Structure 1
Amino acid sequence: MEEMEEDAPERIEDENHNCGAEGVSVSSPAQVCVDSDSSSDTCESDSSASSAANGAALLFSSTSKFFLNAMTAEEYRTVYWPKLERAIEHLLTQSPMEHISISYEQIYSHVYKCVCQQHSELLYNDLMWKITSHLEQVSSELQASPPEHLIENFNLALTQYTAALHCIVPVFIYMNKFYIETKLNRDLRDDLMKLFSDHVAEKHVSTLLPLLKKAHSMPFQVKPSTMASVVKGLYALRPDWVPLAPALFSRFIPQIDAPALESQLLYYAAQDKTLQMELSQNGFSRGDQSRKRASEES
């Protein structure tokens, strides 16, 4: 990403944690001059006059500085947002093992200034639009994925997205604190994970779950780590998907089933026997049975 022109501004918060304007430099009292008459400019030596002049200069300097640096909606749209959009695009598309050189301090600086200049709503809406557009593209690519590759490709998409959020959420923390949490009563990461749920996972869950159940019945057809990652990811996104495949989710999510009941012991034994038969039919032997203890052979 190209270098951004401004250094990160000093963060200033008042006692109510409200976002403040950038710091301004103020002349010392000895340097403040006032008009003593219409014909000449002199520096006041009287302490009260100097104090009044200093206060007036401070107010004028602060107000002038704020309005001179005020960011218009057009400036936000043409200068600040394009730089932030390029950074977001880099973060969303880099692979988990790839490192793209981005100055997070400069991104944070731009977010900070947009929030301080009262463009939080614009920034939030643009961020959500950008990520939604990206996720719709991801969903289209998964739609074109062959069924035998869908589980792996979904896992890659979810892994890449969550890795991107580890970078995006921290640099937008100022917007999260002073706009999303305060005015929307929500959290940025929750909102962004809901986008993935709505625009990607929900569109493919009806295809994914049968594939996951089939893969689980044929051990090592899909890597166990991939199976666990996808099932746990779906559960984290939408716990209410559990009833769609309770046996599958219970294999990877602890304590998701109801406690075992003594009255169901025969049922549990039958389930275990069925699983052993399935493993045996798929080429998984029970080991060397000739080494049983004598007590087991009687």
Structure 2
Amino acid sequence: MEAMEDDSSEVKDDHNHNYCGSSGGGKVREALSSQVPDGLSAPQLVCPTVPGGEPAKRQGRLWSGSPCGSKLMDSDTGSESSEVSETDCSAANAEEKFSLDSTSKFLLNAMAVEDYRKNHWPNLEEAIDRLLIQNLSDHISVSYAQIYGYVYKCVCQQHSELLYGDLTSKITAHLQQVSTQLQASPPENLIENFNVALTQYLASLQCIVPVFIYLNKFYIESKLNRDMKEDLMKLFADHVAEKHLSKLMPLLIKAHSMPFQVQPSTMASVVKGLYSLRPEWAQLAPALFSSFIPQIHPAAVESRLPDYADHDRKLQMELSMNGFPRGDQSRKRASEDS
């Protein structure tokens, strides 16, 4: 009986039932081992330690793990005191949340771009192709409401920049093909072929610009401070008209000096089209452009009336030499002969 009391007196039990002992630890393990059935190992008694190698009991607190760092638990009261300040924990939590939010936004944006590439742009690209290559006599069935719906979704999903870049790239590639075809045209057909290309392009813009009006209003006008039609007209000027202007202008001047060599409607369409693309081109041939567009020349002044009359006489002589008679002069009034 006294031996058992001696052994038990060396086993120390704290309020958390952590059995720790110095010299009596071996006796307790032997006693427990003797009570464990054969084939099972006795549980190991471990005293939690704190930095420095001292048992936690000696300092009156126990270590407890925490996501924000290690905490000390008071052995008597069970209260916790954190080694890491609450500010550090909040900063760590905020950093982790920011990282998760950034990753989520990146994944959402990637999914949205992939959806645009797979579902929205292919349908728009097909419609643009059909509008660009249509002939004036063709009647192509295109759902403008559907195209407008795709454009609306793209703008609302913050894909305006992508959409406008794809649109201009698509039209630029088409105009480069048109320019290549015009290069193969013989000189006698260049004016007519250029007129067909320009007329067809203008007709396409009358369909493309309205269905992209949402993109034009909320991106091109508001952010780029430009206009979609002006930008698309500039594409034709850069990639088609400017490349053929050096050949086209002499042909137009020659055709203007020889009436009806080219249909007047074709001449008017080409000259007015060039002026709409770049008004400064009128200065390359003022006489040509002034025949189809008013106010190309400066306003008339009284001091130059003799020059104007001389110009009219020369024009009448050129018309007479080219087979255009002045008409029946027998019915002139007698006062005009004097």
Give the structure-1-normalised TM-score. Answer: 0.74
State the shift of 1:69 in Å. 12
Cross-structure match for 2:258: 218
Distance in 2 separating the partners of 1:145 and 1:162: 21
State the shift of 1:133 in Å. 0.3
**Aligned AA for 2:236?**
F
Distance in 1 separating the partners of 2:280 and 2:180: 24
Cross-structure match for 1:136: 176
- Equivalent residue for 1:119, pick from 145, 152, 159: 159
Matched, 1:172 2:212: yes
State the shift of 1:89 in Å. 0.5
State the shift of 1:264 in Å. 1.5
In the comparison of the two structures, how many residue pairs are matched? 232
Cross-structure match for 2:138: 98
Deviations 1:50-88 (A, max 9, x none): xxxxxxxxxxxxxxxxx9999621221122211111100
Cross-structure match for 2:321: 281
1:13-162 correspondence runs (5 A): 72-162=112-202
Deviations 1:134-163 (A, max 9, x none): 001111111111111111111111111111
Q: In the superposition, relative to structure 1, how do residues 172 and 71 fare at CA in structure 2: closer, same or farther (>3 Å)? A: farther
Q: In the superposition, relative to structure 1, how do residues 69 and 198 fare at CA in structure 2: closer, same or farther (>3 Å)? A: closer
**Aligned AA for 1:105?**
A
Max Rg structure: 2
Cross-structure match for 1:263: 303
Equivalent position SS for 1:183: coil
Matched, 1:182 2:222: yes
Q: In the superposition, relative to structure 1, how do residues 260 and 278 fare at CA in structure 2: closer, same or farther (>3 Å)? A: same
Alpha carbons 1:71, 1:117 under 8 Å: kept: no
Matched, 1:229 2:306: no
Distance in 2 separating the partners of 1:125 and 1:140: 23
Distance in 2 separating the partners of 1:176 and 1:136: 24
Matched, 1:272 2:309: no
- Equivalent residue for 2:289, pick from 241, 249, 261: 249
State the shift of 1:293 in Å. 2.5
Alpha carbons 1:112, 1:174 under 8 Å: kept: yes
Alpha carbons 1:70, 1:117 under 8 Å: kept: no
State the shift of 1:291 in Å. 2.6
Higher relative contact order (CA 8 A, sep 6+): 1
Distance in 1 separating the partners of 2:213 and 2:331: 62
State the shift of 1:295 in Å. 2.9
Distance in 2 separating the partners of 1:270 and 1:297: 19
Equivalent position SS for 1:252: coil
Distance in 2 separating the partners of 1:70 and 1:80: 15
Distance in 1 separating the partners of 2:287 and 2:233: 25
State the shift of 1:294 in Å. 2.7
Distance in 1 separating the partners of 2:156 and 2:299: 52
Distance in 2 separating the partners of 1:181 and 1:296: 61
Equivalent position SS for 2:297: coil
Distance in 2 separating the partners of 1:259 and 1:177: 38
Alpha carbons 1:91, 1:168 under 8 Å: kept: yes
Equivalent position SS for 1:162: helix
Distance in 1 separating the partners of 2:156 and 2:332: 75
